[in-house]
Structure 1
Amino acid sequence: MFPKVWRSIVTRWDHYLFGVGYGLVFGFFGITALVVDTPQADVPNGLGEVSTASAPTSRHWFGTNRDGMDLLGPTLAAAGRSAWLTLVAVVLGSSSGLAVAASAFLIGSDRGYRALAAFQSGIGLVPALLMMFILAAGFGAGVGATILMLGALCLGFVAGRGANWCVAWEDGGDVISARALGFSRRRILQELLFPRLWPKAAATAATLLPAALVAEAALGFSGAGASVAAANGRIGVMLGVGRETMFDLPWMIISSGAVLWVLTMVLAGLAWAVRRTLDEPVDERWF
């Protein structure tokens, strides 16, 4: 038994490495989001007075304080909330997109394939983005609205790519041979296509994660002006508050932008490694 377990670990070491990488990133930011207080934007009419300083007697987790103000802790906590919110949206949306692509293969509808492929190719992407930001400006991008909008975009993208993959694989020799042997579409999907489909969907989700994080920050940025309490404590609101207090508290926009940029680059690097490991091209359109 132990040689089999060891062989499995050795042959799949890269997947475990990615798990450790993502676990460290989201574990660190998740713990930070839970234990560090983030200043809330109290904005009755836009971005007016903002409570940006913690109490002088409060604990400064990262030791960078000035006049009783934690300069880095609140920013990392806000980034943690945004990162976890983005992760939930991407996982839910990508999983739903994978289910939609598999259902499209089972149904075998050419019209459904074309509709999904059209959305993925960009015909429906730009209107969806415009609608997302219009809704955010009006409703402030609360937690539910953010998950819904980002998840819907990931769903359409993964479903469209999955439909394209299924169409290409249907012309493969193994699928044609399985049909000649009398395999049903469900059995073909379970035994031949799904083992190829889910790694590609996972690689696509990993690639979408940094872009979705930037979109989440933009939603929070627009939600700051809409005075939505649910958008408080997220990196986009920190950027919005920092823009309004740029001359009084420049650290707010500088630290928020720097943390967002570093986190996005780390997630993009992990996504690139995931795609290379899963033999996914890294120079495709949109990536």
Structure 2
Amino acid sequence: MVGLAASAPASARSARPLRPPRILGRIAVPFVSFGLAVAAWYLVSTVLLAPERRFLLPPPHAVFTESLSDPATMETMLHALAVTARVAVLGLALAAILGIAIGVLMARAKVFERVVYPYAVVMQAVPVLAVVPLIGLWFGYGTTARVIVCVLIAVHPIIAMTLFGIQSVDPNLRELFILGRANRLRRLVSLELPAALPSIIASLRTAAGLSVTGAVIGDMFFAKGQPGIGTLLDTYRARLQSEDLLAALLLAALFGVAVFAIFTAAQRLTVGRWHSSGR
């Protein structure tokens, strides 16, 4: 009887249907989603739009044959994308330095938080498009203005999440460091910043996408210097080059997805082993 009882669960487990590996599900879902998006694109372009209005949304194969497969067009787009990428990376780096520094100072000094945080909220609430003319007037219409737009868009989540992460440190651990006579710098480096790291990494992942958006917006409004992908988008729109417009838009979207994926991987590498946000 004991042997039968012991073998019953084993036979029941063997009779259960085998579940596909989790990694297959993660791979299949994006492919299915991509297929549905392409199918919806074809539906709108070939069925819902009249032939004389089809230039507004050419089908995917037309975008590939007329734009993406043209070496000269792709060279122009990739060069412009590289310009936008440099601006986005520089803007994100400056936003990270400023955001983390301001967040730490706000967590350390309540007076500084009361003085600075309202301005950070106002800066986030005001549409960046309303500030763009002033940025061009003050800083010119070149690369500097584009970087400033990226910083203005990306810095607020870094400030907010750095402040939140430091303020969320376990009070018992703070007391332990104080009892150990650790000075303020030691507590910051050894306790508060490591504890706030998941929040900081999450804010950088959000800010990375915002920085790409800011770089594209800066390209559209500040045309001096090397043209970025946003400059090409504005040019193709004005010329009604729908295939090139959609191709440039796809490249910009792929770049944004790549940046988001890089910071997602960085989050898993840095905090994935000990924090749920990186798993």
TM range (shorter): 0.5 to 0.7
Quick check: 1:235 aligned with 2:257? no
Q: What is residue 248 of structure 2 aligned with on the other side?
A: 256
TM-score (norm 1): 0.61
**Structure 2: which amino acid aligns with 1:204?**
S
**Count of residues paired in the alignment:** 206
Written as runs of structure 1 = structure 2, the 5 A alignment for 1:1-287 is 64-65=70-71, 70-105=72-107, 108-114=108-114, 122-127=121-126, 129-135=128-134, 141-169=141-169, 171-198=170-197, 200-223=199-222, 228-230=223-225, 232-246=226-240, 249-276=241-268, 278=271, 279=275, 281=277
**Structure 2: which amino acid aligns with 1:142?**
G
Q: 1:137 to 1:191 in 2, by over 3 A?
A: closer
- C-alpha separation in 2, matches of 1:113 and 1:83: 33
Mapped contact 1:116–1:156 kept (Cα < 8 A): no
Deviations 1:245-271, CA, capped at 9 Å, x for gaps = 11xx44431221111122122223333
Q: Which structure's residues are more often helix, by fraction?
A: 2
Paired residue secondary structure (1:182) = coil
Deviations 1:165-214, CA, capped at 9 Å, x for gaps = 22221x52111221233322122112212233455424422331122212
- C-alpha separation in 1, matches of 2:246 and 2:253: 11
What is the aligned-residue RMSD (CA, Å)? 2.9
**Structure 1: which amino acid aligns with 2:253?**
W
Q: 1:129 to 1:281 in 2, by over 3 A?
A: farther
- C-alpha separation in 2, matches of 1:274 and 1:115: 33
Runs of 4+ with deviation above 4 angstroms = 114-120, 136-141
Q: 1:273 to 1:90 in 2, by over 3 A?
A: same
Mapped contact 2:146–2:214 kept (Cα < 8 A): no
Q: 1:238 to 1:149 in 2, by over 3 A?
A: same
How far the C-alpha of 1:136 sits from its partner, in A, is 5.5
- C-alpha separation in 1, matches of 2:268 and 2:129: 32
How far the C-alpha of 1:88 sits from its partner, in A, is 1.0
How far the C-alpha of 1:86 sits from its partner, in A, is 0.3
Paired residue secondary structure (2:126) = helix
How far the C-alpha of 1:146 sits from its partner, in A, is 1.6
- C-alpha separation in 1, matches of 2:122 and 2:277: 23
How far the C-alpha of 1:135 sits from its partner, in A, is 3.2
- C-alpha separation in 2, matches of 1:146 and 1:213: 11
Q: 1:73 to 1:213 in 2, by over 3 A?
A: same
**Structure 2: which amino acid aligns with 1:263?**
F
Alignment gaps of 5+ in structure 2 = 1-67
TM-score (norm 2): 0.63
